[in-house]
Amino acid sequence: MNSSLPRRHVLQIGASLAAASVLPAWAQTPPTLRFAAVFSERDIRADMIKMLAKSVEADFKIEPFLNSTLYKQGTELVALQRDNLDMGNIGPQDISKQVPSWSLLASAYLFRDANHLNTFFASELGAQMKKTVEDQLKVKILGPTFFGTRQVGLKGKKKINTPADLAGVKLRMPPGETWQLLGKSLGANPTPMAYAETYTGLQTGAIDGQDNPLPNVQNMKFYEVMQQIVLTSHLVGYDLLTINLKVWQSMSPAKQQAFQAAADKAIAWSTAEHLKREAELVAEFKRAGLEVYTPDLNAFRDHAQKIYLASDQAKDWPAGMLQKINALK
């Protein structure tokens, strides 16, 4: 009896083994995408990332590092660019450090609300600004992650009605020139401090106040060391869900489409949850004993616009972009 296998069987087995030997590791185990963000596990955006991770788990494993445990606030973008990080939640202020035109998108009283923000990023104007980031920084923007409108929270009971009332107030702002200009535009003395250090800063008196959306004030328990919240509504707060461009380009078109759809769904859910939570928190903070009130918004808006238009940053804004954004419905 001839013990050798027929030639065609040998060829079939050989072909199968060869195919198996060249299959990438992620064909069996989805590749891990490390995600870094400043927000904590209690943040709605943490659940947004969990939702995204669940949606793409067949193709990727998203591993989140929250509360700046992997990279300090403001360093995530550079980590993405150096291929040391796969995904991040990046502030437009950090992008503006390398792409100065983006300082417009981080200026006070630019976006009216979350809907105006999303309308911009879905428009041709938004596509133009996103492409600039992709071309210059080599990161892909998946979408804006709205996390509430920024308000001023303060120690003490001095009534704040106009920017002049904030003169000399040490208002914590995130590090970076764009953030400091925002604090100045409110009439305050901007004081750079990391997000994770803000509670202690308020507690010890190193700062007199902070500016954050109401959900952040709750998540980080800032309300425990403040006496009032001034509803200045000076900035529609958002970051940008981003992914390393090399990682993005390594995906097939079908996987890119599925990943983007999953990101869109998670971002939309997060936005709705933040809007709902904002509406609830005004009443909650009042019940907790904080004074919550609205100042002269026209005075704050006029002052902020004058500060921005007179700044060096405004020289880098694309011609006509401010007016076009204002005209979006």
Query: Mind listing the pLDDT tens digit of every residue in the chain (329 residues)?
Result: 444 444 443 334 344 434 444 445 445 789 999 999 999 999 999 999 999 999 999 999 999 999 999 998 889 999 999 999 999 999 999 999 999 999 999 999 999 999 999 999 999 999 999 999 999 999 999 999 999 999 999 999 999 999 999 999 999 999 989 999 999 999 999 999 999 999 999 999 999 999 999 999 999 999 999 999 999 999 999 999 999 999 999 999 999 999 999 999 999 999 999 999 998 999 999 999 999 999 999 999 999 999 999 999 999 999 999 999 999 98
- pLDDT value of position 1: 42
What pLDDT shows up at residue 74? Answer: 87
- Tell me the three state secondary structure of residue 142: strand
Enter the pTM of the model.
0.84
Do the strands 61-65 and 139-154 form a parallel or antiparallel pair, or are they unpaired?
Answer: unpaired
Q: Contact 144/246 with Cβ under 8 angstroms?
A: no
Tokens matching residue 321:
């972009």
The domains of the chain are located at 27-316
Q: What is the DSSP string of 209-240?
A: EEEEEHHHHHHTTGGGG-SEEEEEEEEEEEEE
Question: In whole angstroms, how far apart are CA 169 and each of 3, 154, 184, 212, 271?
Answer: 91, 9, 10, 16, 31
What superfamily does domain 27-316 belong to in CATH?
A: Bacterial extracellular solute-binding protein, family 7 (3.40.190.170)
Tokens of 245: 């461009």
